[in-house]
Every structure is written in structure tokens, then in C-alpha cells.
Amino acid sequence: MTAADNAAPARLAAGAPLVKITGSVDAISALFPLSQEGLALRRPGLTSPDFIDLLCGAELWIDAIRFLAHALPRREAVWWACTAARSGLDPNAAAQRQAVETAEAWVYHPDEERRRAAVAAAPAAGNDSPAHWAAMAAAWSGGSLAPPEAPVVPPGETLTAQAVAGAVLLAAVKPEPERAPERYRNAVAQAIDIARGGTGRPKPSAQ
């Protein structure tokens, strides 16, 4: 075993503040079910960056991804879902590409017309694709779940975050599920960059 094997894992969330994350650890983690291992890491006064790093250090990647999906504002979270979906997009899958593009269009201009376009584009992408869930994240961002002529049925508070987590987690395991841990880590790094006001394409760390 080398010294590198014994080295502490890099702290992904340490450094520049996560300006887009304003909720407390308790408030954010109350929005979704943390694993028992994740719950055991919480303690009074813990900041979001510290909690994210504790989850990552324990390789609780799914908890970390779900936490970030619920912590980010909706536009930033949907952008993360789009970034993840694009990373494994089949260039020949026109319906999936269209779903991601409609979600991105909503991020650029989050109005009702573009939200409805995401609603329409999602089904053709197939509900086993990250693109589908990226589009659903935008579709569930507001407005109504019912058709335009029907009474308003507002989406649940956490539906967008759930769809974002679904997009990111699916993108990590499709294809080559054996590479999921590496992709989980990369996805968390993308979200952290977005939380700092970036694009989700952080520069590689210096070797």
C-alpha cells in the first residue's frame, strides 16, 4: 500500500463558498430520505460544504447527489440534470436530445411556454433515460401538472429535485455501471461548481 492509498480523500466542497446553497443541512436533508449511514454523519452546526464532504469521504455518493439536488435552486438543479444527461447522450437518439434541449431552453428562459415544451418532450425520451428526467425536472418546476384547460394542480415541492437526482444517478450507471463511482464523483464536482456560480464544467485539479 502506498502513501497515496492512505491519503485523505480530496474535499470537493472545500474552498470557494457554495453561494447558491442557502438552506441548512437539517432543512435540506429533511426533504428526502437520507441513508442510515448519511444520517449518522449529521451533527449540530454542520455546514452544507462540510456535510457534502463527509458524505463523499464515506463514498455515500447517492446521498450526496440527492442532497445537492434538493439544495440547489431549481434552475441550477435542472441545469445540472441537463449537464449529466448530455454526458451520456446517444447522438442518434433524437428524442433524448430534444428532451435535454427543451430542459436547457427552460433554464435559459424559465417561462410557462418552455416548461410546457419540456412536459411534451419528456415521454418520447423514455423514462429509463437521463434525458427524460432532465426534461421532467423542468416540467415539474412550477405551473400545473394538469392540462392547460384543467384546474391547476401544482407540482409537489420536491418533484424537480427528485427528477434531477434521477437524471444524475441514471447518467452515472448508463452505460458501464462499473464506472458509476467515478461518475458519481464527477457529478458531485459538477454540482459543486454550479453551486459556486459556475457552469458545471469545473477545471481538472492539478496533479
- Tell me the residue type at 154: P
HSE at residue 71, side-chain half, CA atoms within 13 A, is 28
Number of domains, the chain: 2
**pLDDT band with cut points at 50, 70 and 90 for residue 9:** low
Domain membership flag for residue 207: no
- Which tens digit of pLDDT belongs to each residue from 46-62? 999 999 999 999 999 99
Whether residues 118 and 182 share a domain: the answer is yes
HSE at residue 100, side-chain half, CA atoms within 13 A, is 23
Domain membership flag for residue 97: yes
Domain membership flag for residue 10: no
Among 30, 46, 71, the domain boundary falls at 71
Among 71, 102, 130, the domain boundary falls at 71
Whether residues 144 and 186 share a domain: the answer is yes
Among 10, 44, 71, the domain boundary falls at 71
Domain membership flag for residue 7: no
- Which tens digit of pLDDT belongs to each residue from 87-131? 878 777 999 999 999 999 999 999 999 999 999 999 999 999 999
Whether residues 64 and 82 share a domain: the answer is no
* DSSP states of 18-74: -TT--S-HHHHHTTS---HHHHHH--TT--HHHHHHHHHHTT-HHHHHHHHHHHS-H
**pLDDT band with cut points at 50, 70 and 90 for residue 1:** very low
Which grid coordinates are listed for 19? 453561494
**Which residue range forms the structural domain that includes residue 49?**
20-71
Whether residues 31 and 100 share a domain: the answer is no
Domain membership flag for residue 154: yes
What percent of the chain is modeled with pLDDT above 70? Answer: 92
Domain membership flag for residue 13: no
Whether residues 67 and 78 share a domain: the answer is no
Specify whether the CB–CB gap between 184 and 62 falls below 8 A.
yes
Whether residues 125 and 156 share a domain: the answer is yes
Specify whether the CB–CB gap between 68 and 191 falls below 8 A.
yes
**The predicted structure's pLDDT at residue 10:** 63
Whether residues 124 and 53 share a domain: the answer is no
Domain membership flag for residue 12: no
What percent of the chain is modeled with pLDDT above 90? Answer: 83
Whether residues 103 and 186 share a domain: the answer is yes
pTM score of the predicted model: 0.91
Whether residues 168 and 143 share a domain: the answer is yes
Average pLDDT of the chain, as a whole number: 91
**The predicted structure's pLDDT at residue 205:** 40
Whether residues 94 and 63 share a domain: the answer is no
